[in-house]
A = this chain, B = another copy of it.
């Protein structure tokens, strides 16, 4: 008897890290039982829908983190520049300066995409929308705000890919710096 009451959120977090390390398709139930210390019975009790439900739970958990720490502040913070600045800090921390991949972005690229297409799209659309709103409130015209929001979100994603591909954090750090500067030098409305 290894564990008595599994903390669902903690299990979801652990599963999420496995998905980041191996990808969703290549993360087996054996890897999950090892990492979490839970037997199969426990896992199926917590996630009766099986592996797909684990995938949904992990994506929901990540989206919630971003909602609380990035998206809502982009909407609610009275000073949009402060909210945007905070977003860069939050993602630098969350993505561990480029050493931790964006699982949702990675899932867009492999066989996970089809089963989770809506969730993947919702997360990115939400990010683009809230960031564009903040940029607009900071002084950009709506079209320019949307374009810059795209540039920022894809820049973060690209920096994560490249940093990992060449094993060099500075790619991520430098790009965050560039995008931060980019968002501060806004044309006047």
A172, closest chain B residue (CB): B154
In the complex, per-residue mask of A7-22: 1 if CB is within 8 Å of any chain B CB, else 0: 0000000000000011
Per-position binary interface string of chain A over residues 156-170, scored 1 when its CB falls under 8 Å from any chain B CB and 0 otherwise = 111111101111000
Please give the number of chain A residues whose Cβ is less than 8 angstroms from any Cβ of chain B in the complex. Answer: 42
Q: How many copies does the complex hold?
A: 2
Interface segment, A45-53, A88-96, A145-153? Answer: A145-153
| Given contact pairs A150-B174, A155-B155, A120 touches B165 in the complex (Cβ within 8 A) | yes
Q: Mark A105-121, 1 if CB is under 8 A from B, else 0.
A: 11011110100010011
What residues of B have a CB within 8 angstroms of the CB of A174 in the complex?
Answer: 147, 150
Interface of A is mostly: helix
Known A23-B23, A167-B121: A178·B161 in contact at CB below 8 Å: no
Asked if A158 and B154 make an inter-chain contact with CB atoms under 8 angstroms apart, the answer reads: yes
Q: 11 A-B contacts, Cβ less than 8 Å apart? A: A22-B111, A108-B161, A108-B164, A109-B164, A121-B166, A124-B162, A125-B166, A154-B162, A155-B158, A156-B158, A158-B158
Residues of A within 8 A of B (CB): 21-23, 25-26, 101, 104-106, 108-111, 113, 117, 120-121, 123-125, 128, 147, 150-151, 153-162, 164-167, 171, 174-175, 178
